[in-house]
């Protein structure tokens, strides 16, 4: 397994409830967007398990892109 490059900040993972609170999306729409590549993909927390999480920085980047797309703030 390849290790990610070291960074100044530790990687923070968000569970689905946190992602829903940050984005305002519904659970079903989150999975639709994630499944077709319009939202960052989730990370399996246990190989073969069902627990998943999203990388905080990727969710933040996605939110920032939505803000930029609407025009100047």
Between the two ends of the chain, the Cα-to-Cα distance in Å is 41
CA of residue 5 relative to chain centroid, distance: 19
pLDDT digits (tens, 9 = 90+) for 11-38: 999 999 999 999 999 999 999 999 999 9
Task: Enter the pTM of the model.
Answer: 0.81
Per-residue pLDDT at 29: 97
59 φ, ψ (degrees, to nearest 5): -65, -45
Least confident of 1-10, 25-34, 39-48, 63-72: 1-10
SS3 of residue 19 by DSSP: helix
**Distance, CA of 37 to CA of 34 (rounded, Å):** 5
């Amino acid at each position: 397994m390849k290790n990610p490059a070291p960074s100044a900040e530790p990687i923070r993972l968000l569970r689905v409830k946190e992602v829903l609170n940050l984005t305002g999306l519904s659970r079903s729409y989150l999975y639709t967007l994630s499944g077709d590549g319009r939202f960052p993909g989730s990370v399996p927390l246990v190989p073969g398990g069902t627990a998943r999480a999203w990388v905080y920085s990727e969710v933040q980047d996605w939110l920032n892109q939505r803000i930029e797309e609407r025009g100047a703030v």
